[in-house]
Amino acid sequence: MEELFSAAVRRTTQGRHRDAERATFLGDLVRGALPLAGYAGMVAQHHHIYSVLEEAAAVMRDDPVAGAFVHDGLTRGPALEADLRLLLGDGWLERSAPSAATLRYTQRLREVCFTWPGGFVAHHYTRYLGDLSGGQHIAAAVRRHYATAATGFYVFDAIGSPAAFKARYREALDSAAWSDEERRRVLDEVLVAYQLNIDVLDDLGREYADGQAA
Ligand code: HEM
């Protein structure tokens, strides 16, 4: 039987997923070894990334293919702002400078997510399915180790059951009207998206090395 596209994406990106999951910064974060400023730094980078991704979602929501993936319950912008206000106070925006890796990430999002539906889906998939999966482990660890209520980013209370949502999302990947060639391009862009995430985590790792107060 021919492999489903969603299964091919998962299989082909397994190695990159392992690299992302094992990023030193995430390891330090989930074992409570970072200063709270390290977590705030990650939320600040997310803010820049989602701001562009969700701008693209507003454009792509009427697209016949990409529109099937857009769901208002996924929108992270307001939760990120609320989390950053808790973490950094009223001056949160000025204290949330994008890192060099985040600037490369947002530049790539601007290049591919506004005019190429498959590119948008590749980036949308990598972030939101990650947030609904490993993101939930990260949130649990942050709640356990750090004295902060700023984990609204990880709360998806308007999509129903996350497992059912992910199953429908994979069905949408499988039924998108893409040629084999387009599927290959989308898969390649998922790999690019993983690399951009790894780069952002590595930048954060250099900024907030374990044991160093920020
Ligand atoms: C502490 C770090 C992480 C852990 C523990 C983790 C764990 C997991 C687990 C257990 C799943 C499978 C969920 C399921 O089958 O429903 C998953 C899926 C996924 N994760 Fe992660 N993850 C982490 C970090 C990341 C990062 C940094 C990214 C990229 C931004 C990411 C992107 C994804 C994606 C896209 C999926 C969906 C794969 C698919 O089924 O197609 N994860 N993660």
Quote the longest CA-to-CA distance of the chain: 56
pTM of the model: 0.96
In a domain, 34, yes or no: yes
Q: How many A from CA of 203 to the centre of ligand 1?
A: 20
Total domains, the chain: 1
User: What is the structure's pLDDT at 210?
Assistant: 61
Give Cα separations from 202 to 111, 141, 156 (angstroms): 23, 20, 26
**pLDDT above 90: percentage of residues in the chain:** 96
In a domain, 60, yes or no: yes
User: What is the structure's pLDDT at 213?
Assistant: 46
The residue whose CB lies within 8 Å of the most ligand 1 atoms, and thus the one to mutate among 17, 136, 169, is 17
In a domain, 62, yes or no: yes
Q: How many A from CA of 47 to the centre of ligand 1?
A: 19
Q: How many A from CA of 126 to the centre of ligand 1?
A: 8
Task: Report residue 66 CA to chain centroid gap.
Answer: 17
User: With a 6 A CB cut-off, is 30 part of the ligand 1 pocket?
Assistant: yes
Domain that holds residue 96: 5-207
Spans in the chain with pLDDT lower than 50: 213-214
In a domain, 120, yes or no: yes
Distance CA(152)–CA(76), nearest Å, equals: 9
Q: How many A from CA of 116 to the centre of ligand 1?
A: 24
In a domain, 214, yes or no: no
In a domain, 114, yes or no: yes
In a domain, 212, yes or no: no
Taking the CA atoms of 39, 40, 43 and 44 in sequence, report the sign of the dihedral they define. negative
Distance CA(205)–CA(137), nearest Å, equals: 19
User: With a 6 A CB cut-off, is 26 part of the ligand 1 pocket?
Assistant: yes
Distance CA(121)–CA(67), nearest Å, equals: 9
pLDDT digits (tens, 9 = 90+) for 33-52: 999 999 999 999 999 999 99
Q: Give the residue from 5, 198, 8 showing the smallest Cα distance to 105.
A: 198
Where residue 86 sits, what CATH number does that domain have? 1.20.910.10
Q: How many A from CA of 6 to the centre of ligand 1?
A: 14
In a domain, 213, yes or no: no
User: With a 6 A CB cut-off, is 13 part of the ligand 1 pocket?
Assistant: no
User: With a 6 A CB cut-off, is 126 part of the ligand 1 pocket?
Assistant: yes
User: What is the structure's pLDDT at 209?
Assistant: 81
